[in-house]
C-alpha cells in the first residue's frame, strides 16, 4: 500500500504541532512546511522521537514566491501524490510589513501565499485528496477592495482589519477552488478554530501580553481543541463527498448568501489570477 502524504504549513506552531502529531499517528508521512528551520528543528525532532513516525521538515516562507516555488518543486521531485494539504499557517502583524514581492504581508501570507502554494501542488492531488484552509470568524468583518494587496503605511495599517480581510479572501478561495475541483473528487473546506491560545494573539506590548497570558489564555481554547476541526475535516469519513463548506466545532455553519454572492469575490479572484500569472 502506498504511503499517504500530508503537508502542513506552519507545522511548528501551537495548532500545527497538534496537526503533525495526529496525522503521523494516523499513518501519514507528514511534511512540516516551516519558515524558520533552526527554530523548527527541535520541534520536528521531538515529534519524531515521540511518535516514531515518518516526518520531513522542509523550508517554506509563504511571504516569498521564490520560496513557495522551490518548496513545490522539492515536493514534486520526491512525491507523486498528496493526500492532505492543511493550509494552517497564519500571522497577525503588529505593524505594516511587505512580502518579498512587495504585497501587504498579512494578506500576502495568510491568503496569497497559500493560494500560490495550493495551485502549484494541485497536479499531485488525486481523487479523495483533501485541502483544508484555516479561516477565522473575523472573515465576517473583512472587505475586499482593489487595494487589498497594496503595501500600507503604518498610519494606514489596522492589524485586525487587515487580518479579517485576509481570512475573507481565504474563505472565497475555498469556495472557488471547491467549485473548480468538484469534478476531480477533491474536497476543499475551511476550518474556524475559534479563539485559541497561540502566539498569534500576542500584541507585542509587554504589559498587555502579560495580562493576556495571566487572565485571558486560561479562558480560551487550547491548541489541541483549536486544532480539532481542521483535523476532523482532514480525517473523518463523515466529510467524504463534502466540499466548499465552513466548519466550526466540527459543525457546518452556513455562510451568508450576501457574502457568497458579493461582487468582491469576483474582484478578488480576477486580481489574484493576474498576480499568479506573472509568477508561474
Domain count, the chain: 1
Give the residue from 92, 94, 111, 115 showing the smallest Cα distance to 149.
Answer: 111
Residue 120 Rama label (left phi>0; alpha psi -120 to 50; beta) = alpha
The pLDDT score that the predictor gives to residue 3 is: 86
Task: DSSP letter for 221, please.
Answer: B
- Is 215 or 31 the better-scoring residue by pLDDT? 31
**Is 119's pLDDT higher than 90?**
yes
Cell of 186: 477533491
Q: Could you tell me the pLDDT band of residue 249, with boundaries at 50, 70 and 90?
A: very high
Q: Render pLDDT for 188-197 as a digit per residue (tens, 0 to 9).
A: 999 998 765 5
**Is 209's pLDDT higher than 90?**
no
Domain that holds residue 9: 4-277
**CATH, residue 195:** 3.40.50.720
Taking each continuous run of H as one helix and of E as one strand, the counts in the chain are 10, 8
Q: Render pLDDT for 6-16 as a digit per residue (tens, 0 to 9).
A: 999 999 988 99
Q: Render pLDDT for 32-69 as a digit per residue (tens, 0 to 9).
A: 999 999 999 999 999 999 999 999 999 999 999 999 99
Q: Could you tell me the pLDDT band of residue 129, with boundaries at 50, 70 and 90?
A: very high
User: Which residue in 163, 172, 232, 247 is the catalytic one?
Assistant: 163
- Distance CA(249)–CA(227), nearest Å, equals 10
Does the annotation mark 163 as catalytic?
A: yes
- Range among 91-100, 167-176, 190-199 rated most confident: 167-176
The pLDDT score that the predictor gives to residue 223 is: 73
Segment 59-81 shows an average pLDDT of 98
- Distance CA(98)–CA(105), nearest Å, equals 4
Q: Are 172 and 269 in contact (CB under 8 A)?
A: yes
Q: pTM to 2 decimals?
A: 0.91
Q: Are 166 and 190 in contact (CB under 8 A)?
A: no
The pLDDT score that the predictor gives to residue 13 is: 87
Cell of 82: 498528496
Amino acid at each position: 500500500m502506498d504511503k499517504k502524504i500530508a503537508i502542513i504549513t506552519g507545522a511548528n506552531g501551537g495548532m500545527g504541532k497538534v496537526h503533525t502529531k495526529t496525522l503521523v499517528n494516523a499513518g501519514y508521512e507528514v511534511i512540516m512546511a516551516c519558515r524558520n528551520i533552526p527554530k523548527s528543528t527541535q520541534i520536528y525532532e521531538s515529534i519524531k522521537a515521540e511518535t516514531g513516525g515518518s516526518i520531513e521538515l522542509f523550508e517554506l516562507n509563504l511571504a516569498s514566491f521564490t520560496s513557495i516555488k522551490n518548496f513545490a518543486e522539492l515536493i514534486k521531485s520526491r512525491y507523486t501524490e498528496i493526500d492532505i494539504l492543511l493550509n494552517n499557517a497564519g500571522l497577525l502583524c503588529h505593524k505594516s510589513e511587505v512580502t518579498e514581492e512587495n504585497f501587504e504581508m498579512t494578506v500576502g501570507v495568510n491568503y496569497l501565499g497559500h493560494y500560490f502554494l495550493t495551485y502549484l501542488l494541485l497536479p499531485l492531488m488525486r481523487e479523495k485528496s483533501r485541502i483544508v484552509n484555516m479561516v477565522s470568524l473575523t472573515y465576517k468583518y473583512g472587505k475586499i477592495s482593489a487595494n487589498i494587496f497594496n503595501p500600507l503605511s503604518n498610519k494606514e495599517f489596522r492589524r485586525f482589519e487587515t487580518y479579517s480581510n485576509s481570512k475573507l479572501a481565504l474563505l472565497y478561495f475555498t469556495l472557488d477552488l471547491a467549485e473548480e475541483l468538484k469534478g476531480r473528487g477533491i474536497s476543499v473546506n475551511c476550518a474556524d478554530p475559534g479563539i485559541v491560545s497561540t502566539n498569534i494573539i500576542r500584541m507585542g506590548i509587554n504589559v498587555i501580553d502579560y495580562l493576556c497570558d495571566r487572565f485571558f489564555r486560561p479562558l480560551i481554547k487550547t491548541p489541541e481543541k483549536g486544532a480539532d476541526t481542521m483535523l476532523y475535516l482532514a480525517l473523518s469519513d463523515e466529510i467524504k463527498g463534502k466540499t466548499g463548506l465552513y466548519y466550526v466545532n466540527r459543525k457546518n455553519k452556513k455562510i451568508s448568501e450576501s457574502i457568497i454572492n458579493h461582487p468582491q469575490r469576483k474582484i478578488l479572484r480576477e486580481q489574484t489570477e493576474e498576480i499568479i500569472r506573472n509568477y508561474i
